[in-house]
Chains A and B, each alone.
With several copies, the nearest count.
Chain A
């Protein structure tokens, strides 16, 4: 056990810290879930890419710097601590990216990974359908072979940034007679495909952050099939594991939020606008962010030693999503009557952050389902 960063890790940390200090955008960007903000954030992805920071853990061949898992965690800590902009291509880089590495052909790697790394192609995830949410395997969007194309028909929903994304990754039913987990395929669809209509849907914070996608004889070339035809479920589960485990929500963002929360408490207390009564709750939330960091380093050590992460990913998903709610709810309690205000006097907009955090226990598999997974697959309790 050695819980210090190595000389190499420290050098890595100093390098990203210095780069961020010199290169952070000076102007605030619009929300990435508006058309204008989307393009501003895309431009920032290019800045990161040009400096080699957009996908630091990827192979150099595709724009990365082949950093270790621990270095990637360091990158995330520094990135969020700096207050740098949100990453508009997160779903591509952290969810589709690892799945492409695992299941994609060499041609697909070359076709998709560099453009993903540079931000030239921003990705959105379209899995849920109006009648298939938690029960994804009940999905009914079909893709029927026609020569070297698939013809897609159906509807997808809750597609984050799906209104403007350049590409979309979907799960569709390619075997028309199949049921449940069989007969599904993982398809990559251009946002401008003929037969694809996209309707923006307002998220709780008012931004048109979701899209509904309507596929009406939408033709997708077979080269855009990821993994084997009919293997979509197992490919999708690889993505879901990334979503629940380390990839989507590294500790950095919560450590940064915990530090902002502590600073808010100190500031309000110093100005007499808050008393000490919430100290215990602020300390508790900070501790949990800290515990998430160390649990993650423990998991990373296991992975770097050749171990794997399976259903334990559900621990992380439940923990970070409920931690995020707790961090923001505590801030709102500190703010009292100021809590309902958006763009209020306390710098960061904690109410908007709260709204965003409340989605955490829902997406990437509801926390109810994650707890089932922990009980059944980790603890071994009977399913029925």
Chain B
């Protein structure tokens, strides 16, 4: 039993954090709210250069050949920085799914290099596809099989998210235009678990960021002659957020390990992680806004970037209720 990351894993995490501090500050995220693509100029290429995009691709495809345990730390950082791209869909789901199936090697190569973006739409992940209009390829589910579709061949109807940097689309496609990736239900199940895990890691990152900025704000903001954060009610609000994160985070790591090692209870553990991470970020959003007061309620203040991402991610790839139901089924409670 060794529940710790290696120094290499932590250093990679730190390097990604440095990159995102530099290339994905709040001002850059804001640009993605209003620009045409919903993406940050140049960020995708830098993530590719660093090896993040191809982290889970085999080395012979130009990837790093790493796994979910390496990935979750990076997706937590993506959550902290509110990276607007369909990073988890591309990196955590599409590339390993195509690689596992041994199909579309050219797409994998291009995805690893960052030349293209591949997004994902699975039935259980939600009704819309993130970045559908911006992506080059879409990995889509139909009848429990997975198919790869060129974006140009799909019919995409844009849908507005509360988070304007989440460019959602309702996607229709014809099977004639699609390439079968896998009709093995285990591939579909694994793809969903990877996506839910990635969303959970991002939820934890968003929650941590909300906590950090709120702690800083209430320590500095004074009312009644003392910091707002000196009030016990504020302290307990934020202690509760810290508690939710403290116990959700190990479940995300443990679920990552379960996927990486093909553990028996993999899907149950992923659902525990996503349920707890969704609840944590939901609480973090509520308390962060309440502890900020009116200033957090404006679009000029950066808090909204994480609030809206948090609300969206809490529900994306299955909300906490759906995942608890999966846990209940695994425990044969219902």
Contacts and interface: CB of A to CB of B under 8 A. Distances in A.
A–B in direct contact per CB < 8 Å: yes
A158 interface: yes
A295 interface: yes
Contacts of A319: 243, 246-247
A358 B247 contact: no
Interface string B253-282: 110011001000000000010011000000
Nearest to B218: A381
Contact of B333 (A283, A332, A333, A344): A283
Interface string A345-384: 0000001000100110111001110011011101111111
A204 B276 contact: no
Contact of A202 (B163, B300, B333): B300
5 contacts: A2-B2, A202-B298, A283-B327, A287-B272, A363-B294
B311 A340 contact: yes
B247 A292 contact: yes
Contacts of A157: 294
Interface stretch (B35-43, B47-55, B91-99, B124-132): B124-132
A368 B231 CA distance: 10
B248 A291 contact: yes
Contact of B163 (A5, A333, A340): A340
A133 B331 contact: no
B293 A337 contact: no
Interface in A283-305: 283-284, 286-288, 290-292, 294-295, 297-298, 300-302, 305
Of A278, A291, A302, most buried by chain B (CB within 10 Å of CB) is: A291
Interface string B179-203: 0000000000000000000000000
B319 A372 contact: no
Contacts of B272: 287, 290-291
Contacts of B238: 375, 379, 381
Given A338-B127, A362-B290, A282 B3 contact: no
Contact of A375 (B239, B328, B331, B332): B239
A260 interface: no
Interface of A: 1-6, 9, 70, 128, 131-135, 138, 157-158, 201-204, 206, 210, 262, 265-266, 269, 276-280, 282-284, 286-288, 290-292, 294-295, 297-298, 300-302, 305, 312, 315, 318-319, 332-333, 336-344, 351, 355, 358-359, 361-363, 366-368, 371-372, 374-376, 378-384
Contacts of B251: 290-291, 294
Interface string B157-175: 0011111001010000000
Given A132-B223, A266-B333, A294-B250, 15 more contacts: A70-B1, A138-B223, A158-B297, A269-B333, A287-B272, A294-B3, A294-B251, A294-B254, A315-B242, A336-B322, A340-B316, A358-B297, A359-B294, A382-B219, A382-B230
B240 to A, nearest CB: 7
A282 B4 contact: no
Contacts of A5: 1
A381 B230 contact: yes
Contacts of A301: 1-4
Contacts of B218: 381
Interface string B319-332: 10110110110011
A4 B311 CA distance: 34
Pick the 6 closest A-B CB pairs, nearest first. A337-B126, A375-B235, A202-B299, A135-B223, A371-B239, A283-B328
Interface of B: 1-6, 69, 125-128, 159-163, 166, 168, 211, 215, 218-219, 222-236, 238-240, 242-243, 246-248, 250-251, 253-254, 257-258, 261, 272, 275-276, 286, 289-290, 293-294, 297-300, 304, 307, 311-312, 315-316, 319, 321-322, 324-325, 327-328, 331-334
A172 to B, nearest CB: 19
A203 B275 CA distance: 30
Given A210-B298, A371-B239, A376-B235, A341 B168 contact: yes
Contacts of B257: 1, 3
B162 A378 contact: no
Of A276, A294, A376, A383, most buried by chain B (CB within 10 Å of CB) is: A294
